[in-house]
Chain A
Amino acid sequence: MGITLANAFPHKRFFLEMFTRDIALEDCLLDLIDNSIDSLVRQKNIDPAKDILKKRKTKPPGPLHKVILDLSSKEISISDDCGGIPRSLIDEVFSFGHDAHAKLGQLGAYGIGLKRAIFKIAEQFELDTRTNGEGFRTSVNIPAWAQRDEKPEDWKIPVNLTVPSTNKPAGTDIKFTTLRDEVKMRIRDGAFEGRVSASIAQTYCLFLEDSIRVALNGKTVEPLELPLGSSGLIKPGKVEFTKGSVKVLIMASLAARRPDWAYDRAGWYVLCNGRVVVAADKTDLTGWGEALPNFHSKYNGFVGVVIFRSRNPLELPWTTTKRGLNRESPVFQSARIEMNLLARPIISFLNDMYKSELVEEPAERKIAEKVTLKDIREVVARKPATFQITKKPQQAKATTRIQYEAAVHDIERIKKAIRQPAWGANKVGKYTFDYFVKTECPD
């Protein structure tokens, strides 16, 4: 009998080889952009969670801040002019996870993004950052750092304190060289750049318009707007509530036409502090198959947007990769209810639009044709309401369509009887109908 102490100390291998498996390369790159945005938030003391939803009155003043991301199979680099990282945060930059009292950014919540990106991407890593007046720089060879793994001291990383030259704007430069083989393979894939570009365009769609510009391999990424639509006849539904420190805003409507509805743009978009975390979701995560039917192409016209905002990003329902939602999050569970309640009338509208047995074209189709893109900020400014459709009363039509099955044999007999062997079935149908009206229904 007795007590022994089991060793629960972490191994570097775990961080190097295990927790890099749960994130895609694209998302690692986005983590780096998140850090740039957080620098901007710190420097300007702005609250993007709040400010990006404000309706723009004029063009933003002054030049936008820039993030420059360059990808090649030799090197990945990212530089920004977003203000840099103050020396007081050196430990926060390199430690795994944050201190309980750390002042968190708006998008960086977990304290793993940069580290995970380093381990995922390369063997050699350099960082140079400067605020106004002071800076620091480091260069790490990961295999060499990983070799020693016995005591806490082995985890430390030497950092050079610097006095930056005044001609360089305050900001951060990060460079990865000696890329890992699997990373080189992905970058060589002709589709990779497009994927990264699309990810940036969607993820930061609200930032890219207003507060920051991202250039990928020399070209500025254009935002991919949230396709929320409206028109004179339909008004998006909107709900707001607050749970703890988290403000929740939910909007749902028909999608903007371009000119049709696209499968890949339909579904729920979920944003945390302005960053798109889940795009065009059609799974049970957002309620499809529970309160809503399973997603089907007839719902391509559905778009919903959920925005979670908080000063404390740990309370937001995102996962550590920021590419998914934590289903257990209480605030997300509450939001999910409201999402389903708000979505339901739109689903019914689309059901009516694509009824299987149609006699005449439903009014829904005419209404849907006119839906155009609505700036999400304008919807945000509206009062909460359910999704509304103004249906004009349909004028009683003087005609209707008739369609029915008839035996080919009988049609041939009729054709013979009326001596019109060249007529099609349609014409025969019309003729027999007219004949009946004429002979049996005198005016």
Chain B
Amino acid sequence: MQPTESYLKVFYDVRPAKQVERRMLVESFQVLSHLGFPIHEYQYTGLGSIYFVDFIMFHKVLGIRRMLSVEHDEQIRKRVTFNQPFRCVRVKLANIANEIPSLSTRRKHILWLDYDSMLTREHLEHLWLSAAKLPRHSFILVTVDVEPPVKSGTPRKWRDYFRDQGQQYLGNLVLADFAQSNLVNVNKGILTRAIDSGVSSRNVKYIPLWAFSYADGHEMLTVGGMFGTDQDEESLRSGIFAQLDYVKFNRDSDPFRITVPRLTRKERLYLDKLMPAAKNWSPKQFELPQDWIDAYRLIYRYFPSYAELVL
């Protein structure tokens, strides 16, 4: 059973699933820090818009000081600067496509292309450039909307859309692959192949680390990984990083699904007291679908609490 649309409307502004994703990424980078990657010295480049939530977390929790937010929309020029959260966040009104080629290769990067639109040809160009540019041990993340690209369309129409946007990254997909339930994997395949293509002639490769799917309204997908060598991959796979539930090294595996069950505060407090629970455990005191419990077990550590703040 999936949480329904109406429940989501309540939370839409705060986007809990997205926040779970951010917290998982922050935890990943903390673990990577522990493994010797000097994350606090990395440059974080993102599309901060006017909210800068990722920037705030990455600065406060990870200690990253070199931050660049790129915004293309001239209409919100002043708002973007007004909302700059810290002095160390440089805000640039520019096209991200032009900024990627000028990222310094003497520095390591975390680049999050957090689009809120559907996959387009331009996004793939950005990924190709990033993969061609970012030095070893840099991380790339990309988020796209994975709703069916044509409303009330059919797999045939959706296939046409993806052919138009990224024919060369489709691999050998057949019509049946464009079923609605599989569109998230189609998107994931295209994004991954675009990165693979950009990095192909370098002496590093793309090591996939993350793939999240969630819906705070629209179905969204985030994929990401690191540029590194076979050795880098081997050491990540064999260390504590591989023990994180949501890490996905395998190109073909389904994304990690972030499901945020709708729970009351009282229910959450009760469940938390019994976490981490064994698989298939369910509370006796009240009824909850088993898949909600399973989902909660995976995300409770990252699940934000919301409360009204009277200012």
Contacts and interface: CB of A to CB of B under 8 A. Distances in A.
Given A291-B198, A330-B201, A337-B201, A344 B129 contact: yes
Given A284-B168, A336-B201, A292 B125 contact: yes
Contacts of A342: 101
Nearest to A291: B128
A340 B130 CA distance: 11
A386 B102 contact: yes
A293 B125 contact: yes
Interface in A323-354: 330, 333-334, 336-337, 340-342, 344-345, 347-348
Contact of B98 (A284, A291, A348): A348
B95 interface: yes
B15 interface: no
B132 A337 contact: yes
B77 to A, nearest CB: 13
A341 B201 contact: no
B100 interface: yes
Contacts of B97: 344, 347-348
Contact of A344 (B100, B168, B198, B201): B100
Q: Pick from A294, A337, A347 the residue with the most CB of B within 10 Å.
A: A337
Contacts of A340: 128-129, 132
A289 interface: yes
B128 A290 contact: yes
B232 to A, nearest CB: 20
B120 to A, nearest CB: 10
A251 to B, nearest CB: 15
Nearest to B129: A291
A341 B133 contact: yes
Given A341-B101, A342-B101, A345-B101, A290 B201 contact: no
Interface residues of A, number: 20
B282 interface: no
Contacts of B198: 290-291, 337
Contacts of A345: 98, 101
A334 B98 contact: no
Interface of B is mostly: helix
Given A291-B125, A293-B121, A337-B201, A386 B101 contact: yes
B81 interface: no
A336 B198 CA distance: 10
B156 interface: no
A284 B200 CA distance: 15
B34 interface: no
A341 B98 contact: no
Nearest to A337: B132
Contacts of B197: 290
Contacts of A341: 100-101, 129, 132-133
Q: Pick from A284, A348, A386 the residue with the most CB of B within 10 Å.
A: A348
A344 B129 CA distance: 9
Contacts of A289: 168
A292 B95 CA distance: 14
B202 A290 contact: no
B175 to A, nearest CB: 23
Nearest to B125: A291
Contacts of A336: 201
Given A290-B197, A337-B201, A348 B128 contact: no
A352 to B, nearest CB: 8
A336 B98 CA distance: 17
Contacts of B102: 386
A354 to B, nearest CB: 14
Given A341-B101, A348-B97, A348-B98, A334 B201 contact: yes
A338 to B, nearest CB: 8
Nearest to B95: A348
A296 to B, nearest CB: 12
Interface in B95-144: 95, 97-98, 100-102, 121-122, 124-125, 128-129, 132-133
B97 to A, nearest CB: 6
A340 B15 CA distance: 36
A330 to B, nearest CB: 7
B98 A344 contact: yes
A333 B201 contact: yes
Nearest to B197: A290
Contacts of A330: 201
A336 B133 CA distance: 12
A317 to B, nearest CB: 12
Nearest to B72: A348
Which 3 residue pairs across A and B have the least CB separation, nearest first? A333-B201, A341-B101, A291-B128
Given A344-B97, A344-B100, 11 more contacts: A290-B128, A291-B129, A292-B125, A293-B121, A294-B121, A337-B201, A340-B128, A341-B133, A344-B129, A348-B95, A348-B97
9 contacts: A290-B124, A290-B197, A334-B201, A341-B133, A344-B98, A344-B101, A345-B98, A347-B97, A386-B101
Interface of B: 95, 97-98, 100-102, 121-122, 124-125, 128-129, 132-133, 168, 197-198, 200-202
